[in-house]
Chains A and B, each alone.
Chain A
Amino acid sequence: AQTVTQSQPEMSVQEAETVTLSCTYDTSENNYYLFWYKQPPSRQMILVIRQEAYKQQNATENRFSVNFQKAAKSFSLKISDSQLGDTAMYFCAFMRVGLGNKLVFGAGTILRVKS
């Protein structure tokens, strides 16, 4: 079974600064996707960024980028120029391709952006 570990229960960052959220996962599969989801106080889940395991290049979406280390099974999220609206719970998630494409979520990291 796949597991996803987020070792930082809470983090805080000053507005405009950069923060990195950590995630490690455990799998014996070779074909999978990794995701970061954001859940703001509204509780609506929002996809932040996606990484396909077969791609060596790290995914980037505007201020959000990942550091994907496949051999180390590490998948961290970097948020640059943090904004107040980034305050949310962030979940790292794993999806094995095939067999229902189910998501396995980490425990989450609460990120607070301070002004």
Chain B
Amino acid sequence: GAVVSQHPSRVICKSGTSVKIECRSLDFQATTMFWYRQFPKQSLMLMATSNEGSKATYEQGVEKDKFLINHASLTLSTLTVTSAHPEDSSFYICSARLAGGWEQYFGPGTRLTVT
């Protein structure tokens, strides 16, 4: 149980376009989902926390207008990278947490390459 999926696993887009990444909890309802960014051989950096039905809370230094997060249902959160640039190329990981729980269940990640 407690499986989280991400789609797509890899995406290549052109500079200036937008790309959407989906995070789904497959067998549980996730009231809270987290979005992380990871550069090669580096740690995970929390970008934002999203709660179902409310606006996401962004970490300091993360551009809200660039990284749009929508948590429309208890099983789906989306991250949209708007007007992507090569410096947005990275590995994006989501995690999901049950209501009242402590454990975060991680998705397999999405590799974004902006050309």
Contacts and interface: CB of A to CB of B under 8 A. Distances in A.
Interface string A14-48: 00000000000000000001000000001111110
Interface residues of A, number: 21
A105 B44 CA distance: 7
Contacts of A53: none
A103 B91 CA distance: 18
Given A97-B102, A100-B57, A102-B49, A43 B44 contact: no
Interface stretch (A58-66, A67-75, A80-88, A106-114): A106-114
B93 interface: yes
Contact of B41 (A101, A104, A110): A110
Given A89-B41, A104-B46, 13 more contacts: A43-B91, A45-B93, A45-B95, A46-B106, A47-B103, A91-B43, A97-B102, A101-B32, A101-B102, A102-B49, A103-B44, A107-B43, A108-B42
